[in-house]
Structure 1
Amino acid sequence: MANVSIKFNGKEFLLSCEDGQEEHLENLLIQINQKFNSLKNDLGNLGENKLLLITAIKVLDEYYETKKKVDEKQKELSDLSKKFKELKSLIYEYKENKEKEMINLDKDLNDLKKAIDENEKKYAKILDTATNEISSFIDNLEDKNITN
């Protein structure tokens, strides 16, 4: 334990604190001294006990106002966190749906390619058949023209 000598309202006090917390304690006492002296200047000398009580009430009021603001911010943060989780869930759902859609589109594309290949083969076969028939027809005509 460390000991810190402080001056408050013109009186010396020796306070104990955890090792390493001396500077923090001194800063707190500076703040309390400022509040106490400010109230003393504003309200006059009401007596040390009454001024200490008013100072404590002021400090506690500031603490509760700050705590209230922190609680509000924590609620806002919690709400934002929930919205973020919902958004994240929607993004994963959207991604999953798009992946399924891409798989279906890929399947449709493969089916279309297969159909085009099959139709190309059928078209080539029809052309071959038509070409053979036309060639045969011409050959028959030429045979008839030669024999006539």
Structure 2
Amino acid sequence: MANVNIKFNGKNFLLSCDDGQEEHLEELLNHINEKFSNLKNNLGNLGENKLLLITSVQIMDEYFETKKKVDQKKTELQNLSNKFRELKSLVYDYKDKKEEELKQLSEDHENFKKEIEKNKEDYERIIEAATNEIENFVEKANLENPVQ
């Protein structure tokens, strides 16, 4: 335990605090002493107890206003965090959907290529068959009607 000697309202006090917290305690007491002195200057000497009470009320008011703002910011941060998670989920869903669409397009493309290749082969067979029939027809016609 550490001890801190402070001066408040013209009186010296010896306060104890955890080791390493001396500067923090002095900072807090300086803040309280400043508020107390400002009230004393503004309101006059209403009595130490009443000034201490008013100082305490002001400090608690500041504390609660700050706490309210912190709580509000926590809520806003939580809402932003939730929206971010929702957006992240939407992005991943969109990505998965697009990957599935690309996969389907790729499969369709492969099927279309196979169909084109098959149609090409069928066309070549038809052309080959038609060519053979024409050649046979011409041969037959030449045999039946020799050139004179």
- TM-score when normalising by structure 2: 0.90
The yes-or-no answer on 1:106 pairing with 2:106 is yes
Structure 1: stretches of 5+ with no match in the other structure = none
Distance 1:145 1:9 in 2: 139
Structure 2 counterpart of 1:45: 45
Cα distance between partner residues in 2 of 1:137 and 1:31: 116
Identity of aligned residues (%): 59
Correspondence 1:80-91 to 2 at 5 A = 80-91=80-91
Which residue number in structure 1 is paired with residue 131 of structure 2?
A: 131
2:79 corresponds to which residue?
Answer: 79
Q: Name the SS for the 2:5 alignment partner.
A: strand
- TM-score after normalising by structure 1: 0.90
Q: Match of 2:36, as an amino acid?
A: F
- Once residues 111 and 147 of structure 1 are traced to their aligned partners in structure 2, the CA distance between those partners, rounded to angstroms, is 52
Q: Give the superposition deviation at 1:144.
A: 5.9
- Paired residues, what number? 148
Aligned-partner Cα distance in 1 for 2:21–2:7: 17
Moved more, 88-97 or 35-44: 88-97
| Distance in structure 1 (CA, Å) of the matches to 2:39 and 2:138 | 122
Give 1:132 shift: 2.7
Name the amino acid aligned to 2:74. Answer: Q
Deviations 1:20-76 (A, max 9, x none): 111111111111111111111111111111111100000000000000111111111
> Deviations 1:72-99 (Å, cap 9, x if unpaired)?
1111111112212221222222222222
Cα root mean square deviation, aligned: 1.7
SS at 1:52 equivalent: helix
Residue 134 of structure 1 and its aligned partner are, at CA, apart by 3.4
**Aligned AA for 1:93?**
D
Read off the aligned partner of 2:4 and give its amino acid letter: V
Match in the other structure for 2:57 = 57
Partner AA of 1:86 in structure 2: E
Distance 2:95 2:9 in 1: 67
Query: Is 1-10 or 92-101 further displaced after alignment?
Result: 92-101
Q: Helix, strand or coil: the match of 1:20?
A: coil
Deviation for aligned residue 1:109 = 1.0
